[in-house]
Structure 1
Amino acid sequence: MDIEVIFPSMTSTLQIKGCGFFVKPPGWSYPLHHHHLFEILYCFSGEVVQFVGASERTMRTGDWMLLKAGARHRLENLAAEPYSFLNIHFDVDDPDLRRRLTAADCFLLSGADAAAGGLAEIVARIERLMALSLTDAPSSGPSAKLEALDIDPLRKLELQAAILLIVTSLTAQFAAPQAPAGKARLSVASFKEIDTAHAIEERLRRMVTADSDNSIARIARDLHLSRSQCSKLFTKVYGVSPRRYVSELVLNRAKRLLVTTNRPIEAIALELGFHSLSHFSSQFRRWTGVSPMQYRPKFE
């Protein structure tokens, strides 16, 4: 018997940038931004709110998040304790893997679901590598910020292997999800399309106020696009139309104001650009199934 089983030839590139451990105090925030690298976040302790596009996701101890390259996001530590986390920025050139990684703007994996995937053991390996490398770094106190640890080639290979295992585990968890109802399945956008879509998104955010003079037609004109081009390009990157995206922004802001302030509902309606309380109430009920008064918490 003569048997040969041969794996295919493989040539691929893994780029890792900004991989490290961080601890940030209560009240810390990171402004709205985007970059052309995929991003992985792991929450060691504390709690942080990730604002990705029009959505809000809360990360708690043990949770993982994978952000698509180009996804526009910001962070806020609204808790009363420090937020400690592992952060990895990376890129890969394998087209099939990139397609799977760009299936949605972000994926959130709970600590309970992550426990079964062996991710804790991989993080422990990275921590060990950091500890070994820190023994060779000059000591400058607990608040010191090192630009980059100097690690030898073998430790560098081990770090790359560990990060690839994390990417593999998360990609398997999030493999080819079904698009949510009403959301288009995204095709892979170019960096230029992503940048243009984010320029559109910046202007759409300004529409969520009563004094905004923006409109989708005006945004398209200012960016030298037809309204159809503007809508198609934005939908390709964000998965929803510009009009629906603005509705999600308005709804999220309305919910936040109703829950976190005691302002009159009519004042909230006017701030969000509604011309009357009845218009706001009927629209809010259509979005949520309840009136603003019913949605607002009642304190005894």
Structure 2
Amino acid sequence: MKVFQQESLPAGLDNVVYGGMLPDVQASFRIFAAHLRKVNAQWSFPEHQHPMFELNLVIDGSQRMRVGDKQFVQKQGDLVWILPNDVHASLGAVDGHMMEYVCVHLEVTDPWFRQQISQIGQIVHPSGSKMESLLRPILMDLAQIARENTSSGLNLKLQTMHASFRIFTALSEVLLDEAVVSNQQTGDSGLAAQLAQLIEHQASTTVKGQEPFRITHIAKQLGYSPAHCNRVFHKAYGVSPRHYLSTVKLRQAKLMLMDPSHSIEHIAEQLGYKDLSQFSKQFKRWTNLSPTAYRHLSW
């Protein structure tokens, strides 16, 4: 069987009556600090913020929550959806009773999908609502896995991975059902998308010895100040432009390491590092593994 590289796939257009193309999808998702907790009446969690999306479902009891300037009671069965960098806190269980909840943090690398789910602006999704109905069974499954915690490390990871795909499928269903998906990008969201495209382009065209990434260059290209570009990008994607560039480079490095036809020296050069040592140190900072160790895990 002949194997074709992506760029040399045969056209196969002879005698085609009808056809259509679907968009390429390249994204990675991360489930972070997913946990189940049963807490007493004295428990609370201080005000904090982070660059991830958060899902919080109360399984038993009720808790007082604050997200931004909104304070409310999250009742049993209510799902709370928190956007990246929203300041939030749990002010404790209601009426001196115990409370049980499950919480999941989500990270999305694809800028378009991240922007779409950021349009889900409603914080509290009551029991029986569309979003709660789609996500509750998945979160309850995660709670049960955490409660039992009898699986081997491999099975536990596979079960969590399975749940993560279900979560992102459910979020896609919410977007499609509510018709909030938008291809129109104007104002700040349009600028953020332009910045993301330019950063991805820079990551894919970097050559050895090229001048390091600076937001000042891209900002000048677009006619804005660096401070404005940093603010707009962080608001849209939850991370700085430099952090986003690192995410893109890491994704490219992982994909290339999974292809044995690329030497690690070649990968380092393609990603713009001055030598193998610099690339290896950076990759280990990202993953806690050397490029060679990651390659062995991938085969």
TM-score (norm 1): 0.49
